[in-house]
Structure 1
Amino acid sequence: MNRESNSYTFIFAIGMVVIVAFLLAFASTSLKDRQGENVEKEKMQNILKTIGVDVERDAAKEKYGDYIKEELSLNADGSVDENSEAFEIDLNRELKLPVEEQHFPIYIAEVEGEKFYIVPLRGAGLWNAIWGYVSLKEDLNTIEGVNFDHAGETPGLGAEITTSWFQAQFEGKKIFDENDELVGVTVAKGSGTKGDNAVDAISGATITGDGVTAMIKERLSHYLPYFKKERTQ
């Protein structure tokens, strides 16, 4: 075949596309197990971070069992669903279901004899999804720590929710007000000095901050039946 012809160029291009597609598919299939394992380790790492256990991703799986004593999947009424694995719950999928059909994972940890409850979070930022975890002390009111991440917030603005300075503000904050009503934690300008239920916002990232505020309150609201049972024991 004439290598200078259009037909040769066309056939060559098709051949290259097929070869590259095959190699990409092969690589994706070959690495699937490793990718899944890395996602699992990162999830464990982020859960542990909320209780002050800061470990490298590769060490997270080994340390996870030392601190996480229970993984519970809750129904909307606060009861435990024994047929659902908490760690395997995908909040992105759950949020598409009616509330009464959703499962609500919660992790119970113990650090130096102190008990903590860790709740996964998921909401909406400015451009895409935001998510994370919040750990509560045994009173189920005081925040021990948080960990946030995002899919596409603006660097230097909304993406700052992943920084330690922003997340550190939540430590010691309360999710209930003085009337024992769930209010979560409000992210707003100048709120850092306004009491137990607020933190300072990120300058220029109002919508992302509002997303964090809404995410915390909305997710925690579904745990109230369980919290009520635990607090009365």
Structure 2
Amino acid sequence: MKKTFWYPIVFMALLTAIFTFILAYMNYSTADRVAANEEYELQAKILYVFDIPIEDDSVEAVDELFSEKITLEDDVFVYQEGDSVEGYAFPVAGAGLWGSIVGYVGISEDYETMLGLTFTQQSETPGLGGRIEDEEFLSQFRGLDISESSEEEYVVYSPAPGANVDAIAGATLTSKSVANFMNDDIHEFLQERRGE
């Protein structure tokens, strides 16, 4: 009776230890590859924010293009063509409907035009709020004039007065969240840069 009682416990403990070791080894052995993939994805997204075309999407080509045109200064990506600064990409983040939304907004060197927007993390409902990563939504923010925006209202959804972009139909809460944290973070960035 005693042998029968302990056998399943010892068997499960041994099985758990074996699978834990296997998972730990796989995590350790793929850590560098995962980090490289994450870096590649971020580089590609920052290039997208600045509307820099990627002709060859290999890891090496993207890294070379990124290194040639982009530098990082205090969490802000700076886009340069030769010696001329063309724009800045800074992080924006806030709460969505189901979790945190994190992304980057690109602003022109004169702080008057939004160059682009991308998201690096979001867990919104696929087909609804998750459409914030669709080109149709993101393209609205390319070349958006923010020079005449009322204070802290850089992104305004139709049909509100002064609207400059369309919200995602069926994803009102996600759309409002994105506008709110973008407006807050853009305002904070511009105040810091302009010394206000």
TM-score range, shorter chain: 0.7 to 0.9
Contiguous gaps of at least 5 residues in structure 2: none
Residues 8-87 of structure 1: pairs in structure 2 closer than 5 A: 8-55=7-54, 56=57, 58=59, 59-68=61-70, 70-73=71-74
The residue aligned with 1:209 is 175
Q: Which residue among 168, 180, 187 is the counterpart of 2:139?
A: 168
The one of 66, 83, 90 equivalent to 1:119 is 90
Comparing both structures, which one devotes a greater share of its residues to helix? 2
**How many Å apart are 1:19 and its aligned residue?**
0.2
Aligned partner of 1:219 among 179, 185, 196: 185
Deviation of 1:176 (Å): 3.9
Secondary structure (helix, strand or coil) at the match of 2:144 reads coil
**Could you say which residue in structure 1 is the equivalent of 2:103?**
132
Question: What is the root-mean-square deviation in Å for CA atoms of aligned residues?
Answer: 2.5
Task: Provide the residue aligned with 1:99 in structure 2.
Answer: none
- CA change 1:57–1:153 in 2 (3 A) is farther
- Cα shift readout 1:15-63 (whole Å, capped 9, x = no counterpart): 1111000111111122222222222221111111111124336242221
Amino acid at match of 2:153: V
Contact preservation (8 Å) 1:173, 1:185: no
More displaced 10-residue stretch of structure 1: 48-57 or 161-170: 48-57
Output the amino acid matched with 1:184.
Y
The yes-or-no answer on 1:228 pairing with 2:194 is yes
CA 1:222–1:115: 2 relative to 1, 3 Å: same
**Count of residues paired in the alignment:** 190
2:79 equivalent among 109, 122, 146: 109
Task: Tell me the equivalent position of 1:146.
Answer: 117
Give me the whole-angstrom Cα distance separating, in 2, the residues matched to 1:72 and 1:161: 27
CA shift digits 1:129-187 (9 cap, x unpaired): 111111122321211211124431001100000000000011221334356x342212x
Using the size of structure 1 for normalisation, the TM-score is 0.72
